[in-house]
Amino acid sequence: MDRRRFLRWAATGVAGAAGATALSGCGSGTGSGDVTLKLVAADYGNPGANNSSKIYWRKLADAFTEKNPGIKVDVTVHSWNDIGKKLTEMVENGNPPDIAQVDSYADWAAEGKLYKVSELLPIPVQAEFLSSLAEAGEVRRVQYGLPFVGSTRVLFYNKDLYAKAGLDPDEPPSSWEQLQVHARRLKEAGVKIPYGLPLGPEEAQGEALMWMLGNGGSYVDSVGNYTLNSPENIETMQWLRDNMVVPGYTEPNPQRVDRQKLFDAFSAGQVGVLNGHPTLMQQADQKNVSYGTGKLPGRDGPAEGTLGVADWMMAFRKNGHREECGKFLSFVYEEKNHYAFASQYGLLPVTTSASERMRKDKRHKKLWPFLDQLASAEFYPVGKVSWAATNAALKETVGQAAMKGGDPKSVLTTLQRKAEAAEKKAESA
């Protein structure tokens, strides 16, 4: 019986003793006296705006304590630029928080520093997570990471620039060949950046993977082995180099261009086409850009999959507050609480009930194409302990494969060797 089916079965009460064990296990921690949980979270708010995530967490923490008077929650919120370093320092200094919300978890799970999800949450709460995301939270087939919010990627294009180039503003490109034709027409019409290709260190690994998915490639195979230099991936980067970069349909040196720079340029009406996530939609709406969206183009037609990205919650063992952590996390994922966060920031919920609610909420109709892809999206192999080192290497060098004069086979083979070395090191640790 697969994990998802079992959890649904157990959640209905049919699992009997197995379900009772999981539920009672969640309540067998310290459970005595007053406890203050320390929560460290990332800020999803915009700089200078009055929408810091600290406001959400403080309100939620107060509501939780009102229902659970013996448990207080001390909230610290850091920017995305700082949280990784701050949290790492806390863990290395032997002073981790009880709960953290950040973008990775595998290293700490492998070191035995985190509670298993099965130790924290009752089965009905576990069963609420979308299965693809729950599985992405596993290290060696055990779930430690709790998905917090997600996003997927779609193709964005500027309808006004399409009209200027004599292209149908209601027909985005569905294949690489069509994308090349559209980019050429946009360039001939004087568009500054026909196709936005962010292969700089901010998220080169994401842009590269989206292109690879369009050609049947990926970073890992079905059993988790790295496949960075597969024939499909090499072919993808060769096509991108020869048909988009060399003809000048992108910025001159994409490996130095970050995603946010191109998002800003798209919102300023300077980019014809690029891949983006829900944040770009919000940004473009604020600038009154007339844009359309479509599926990612693939080699011979629309790509079968798209990139999915999730941020994660986790609970550290150090302070022994398993029961209290479980109670708070169950509260976090109650439909109204989880939906409130995702809705506020234009992100995708990761539970079935909150996803269904967003799918019915017409205020979020523009998010539905992203939401529809979430369950089948391809996620980074974040459960691999070697992924952190591999991801860093991809960010720094994968863009070289698509540059003028670049050698995709050499670049990807070097990355493959580094990934295999990192994996070997992780396995022997």
CATH number at residue 200: 3.40.190.10
Are residues 23 and 140 both part of a single domain? yes
Specify whether 66 is located in the same domain as 114.
yes
Is the same domain home to 18 and 124?
yes
Same domain (yes/no): 243, 356: no
Range of the domain at 242: 154-305+386-428
Distance (Å, whole) CA 252 – CA 314 = 41
Looking at 357, 379, 401, which one is the last position of a domain?
379
What separation in angstroms does the CA of 287 have from each of 7, 266, 269? 44, 10, 9
Residues 275 and 422 in one domain: yes
Exposed/middle/buried for residue 169 (C-beta within 10 Å: 0-12, 13-18, 19+):
middle
Instruction: Give yes or no: residues 143 and 161 share one domain.
Output: no
My answer on whether 225 and 321 are in the same domain is no
Do 132 and 41 lie in one domain? The reply is: yes
Residue 76: what pLDDT?
96
Domain check: are 202 and 64 in the same one? no
Tell which of 338, 359, 379 closes a domain.
Answer: 379
Same domain, 282 and 408: yes
Q: Quote the pLDDT of residue 376.
A: 87
Tell me: do 344 and 235 sit in the same domain: no
Do 159 and 148 lie in a common domain? no
**Which are the contacts of 129, defined by CB distance < 8 A and separation ≥ 6?**
146, 147, 350, 351, 352
Please give the model's pTM, rounded to 2 decimal places: 0.85
Say what the pLDDT of residue 29 is: 41
Phi-psi region for residue 112, left (φ > 0), alpha (ψ -120 to 50) or beta?
left
pLDDT by residue for the chain (429 residues), tens digit each? Answer: 444 443 444 444 433 333 333 333 333 344 445 999 999 999 998 766 688 999 999 999 999 999 999 999 999 999 988 998 999 999 999 999 999 999 889 999 999 999 999 999 999 999 999 998 999 999 989 999 999 999 999 999 999 999 999 999 999 999 999 999 999 999 999 999 999 999 999 889 999 999 999 999 999 999 999 999 999 999 999 999 999 999 999 999 999 999 999 999 999 999 999 999 998 998 999 999 999 999 999 999 999 899 999 999 999 999 999 999 999 999 999 999 999 999 999 899 999 999 999 999 999 999 999 999 998 899 999 999 999 899 999 999 999 999 999 999 999 999 999 999 999 998 887
CA distance 166 to 157: 14
User: What pLDDT was estimated at residue 3?
Assistant: 46
Instruction: Give the pLDDT confidence score for residue 156 in this predicted structure.
Output: 98
C-alpha span between 72 and 324 (Å, rounded): 9
The amino acid present at 217, given as its one-letter code, is G
Domain total of the chain: 2
The neighbouring-strand residues paired with 99 are 39, 315
